[in-house]
Amino acid sequence: MKLSNRIALVTGGTSGIGLEVAKLFRDQGARVIVTGVDQTRLDAASRELGGGVLVLRADLRLAGELDKVFDQIRQKFARLDVLFANAGVGLAATLDAVTEKQIDEQFAVNFKGIFFTVQKAAPLMAKGGSIVLTTSFLNAVGSPGLSILSATKAAVRSLARSLGAELAPRGIRVNAVSPGPISTPFHSKLGLSEKELREAAGAIQARVPLHRFGEADEVAKAVLFLASEDASFITGSEIVVDGGLTQF
Ligand SMILES: NC(=O)c1ccc[n+]([C@@H]2O[C@H](COP(=O)([O-])OP(=O)(O)OC[C@H]3O[C@@H](n4cnc5c(N)ncnc54)[C@H](OP(=O)(O)O)[C@@H]3O)[C@@H](O)[C@H]2O)c1
């Protein structure tokens, strides 16, 4: 048990990578809280995770909703040991087609949402606390049509370093996990047609040295490592889980 009696919050824990992390944290002894927005996915996650996991609806774009999550954690547990700030969205658009609304939407969730989640979590955390942020392989390589999503993830990579430096004096570690292409519902939300999606998936898979998409549980194992005491001397770092995509 790597997280015995630890209190762990997983944002975007109702789907994909976050859901696998929530299951692994639960199985490793943590008291887990997950957040999401879509009610159908919240209900399904609640059934899948079981009664021991607290499932909360919170749109991370809204500071007031985040406050409610942390009020509940404060009341129920009085502290937080692990934060996996993972919720994210992506919208595909080429340079000529990007709109201001798309930029605002992606930065609101992927950057501002993560920043304020960490800001509000930090006062509940003590020495030994661990924060893991989700970045992406897109912060290291250029991909046509994904300029804004990639920029949000580069910003989050930067946050792991600067907030890691700010929280290090308190003994709280901040790291990032950088997934490559992972089989989750994320891709179906990019706004691409079925055909575009198939072509993009084929092209990206061909670029991955291990020649496949990764699975959410393969990312979850890296997150567990960073969240646990196994990574006690690691902060400001990023673990890349991308089948070699950004390395060769
Ligand atoms: N899958 C990949 O290939 C890949 C690659 C690199 C990085 N990533 C990153 O990995 C993270 C998890 O993505 P995933 O692949 O697991 O995708 P996913 O299955 O679509 O999960 C995304 C999660 O974020 C939540 N979310 C979205 N907007 C939100 C908002 N405004 N407020 C609160 N929660 C919100 C979703 O909740 P609802 O379902 O309720 O909307 C969902 O739980 C993201 O940050 C993504 O950028 C994914």
* Domain CATH number, residue 168: 3.40.50.720
Specify if 248 maps to a domain.
no
What does the pLDDT look like over 70-109, one tens digit per residue? Answer: 999 999 999 999 999 999 999 999 999 999 999 999 999 9
Q: Choose the residue to mutate in 86, 204, 217 for probing ligand 1, maximizing ligand atoms within 8 Å of C-beta.
A: 86
Please report which helix (H) or strand (E) contains residue 164, including its range.
Answer: helix 147-167
Q: Which of 15, 5, 7, 20 is nearest to 35 (CA)?
A: 15
Q: Is residue 2 a contact partner of residue 27, using CB atoms and an 8 Å limit? A: no
Q: How far is CA 220 from CA 16, 110, 124, 229, in A?
A: 10, 19, 23, 16
The response to whether residue 12 sits with its C-beta less than 6 Å from ligand 1 reads yes
Tally helices (H) and strands (E) across the chain.
8, 7
DSSP code, position 168: G
Residue 51 lies in a domain: yes
What are the distances in angstroms from CA 70 to CA 29, 33, 35? 21, 10, 11
Bridge partners of residue 178, in order along the sequence: 240
pLDDT tens column, 26-68: 999 999 999 999 999 999 999 999 999 999 999 999 999 999 9
Dist. CA 180 → ligand 1 center (Å): 14
Rounded to whole angstroms, how far apart are CA atoms 37 and 218?
Answer: 24
202 φ/ψ sector (left φ>0, alpha ψ -120 to 50, else beta)? alpha
Q: What are phi and psi of 7, to 5 degrees?
A: -100, 120
* Closest ligand 1 atom number to CA of residue 179: 6
Q: Give residue 176's domain range.
A: 7-241
Please give the tally of structural domains in the chain.
1
Please choose, from the candidates 183, 218, 177, the residue with its C-alpha nearest in 3D space to the C-alpha of residue 204.
183
Q: What is the pLDDT of residue 164?
A: 98
In a domain, 2, yes or no: no
159: Cβ below 6 Å to ligand 1? Answer: no
How many angstroms is it from 184 CA to the middle of ligand 1? 9
In the prediction, which pLDDT does 86 show?
Answer: 98
Query: Considering the domain boundaries, does residue 211 fall inside one?
Result: yes
What residue type is 237 in one-letter code?
A: S
* Atom 31 of ligand 1, nearest CA residue: 59
The minimum-distance atom of ligand 1 relative to the CA of 18 is: 16
Please report whether residue 246 resides in a domain: no
In a domain, 102, yes or no: yes
The residue type of 99 is T
| Share of residues in the chain with pLDDT > 70 (%) | 100
**Percent with pLDDT over 90 in the chain:** 100
Q: Are strands 7-11 and 82-85 parallel, antiparallel or unpaired?
A: parallel
Return d(Cα 8, Cα 25) in angstroms, integer: 8
What is the C-alpha separation between 185 and 170, in angstroms, rounded? 37
Strand partners, 240: 178
247 found inside a domain:
no
Give me the pLDDT at residue 225, please. 99
What mean pLDDT is reported for the chain?
97
Domain annotation covers residue 19: yes
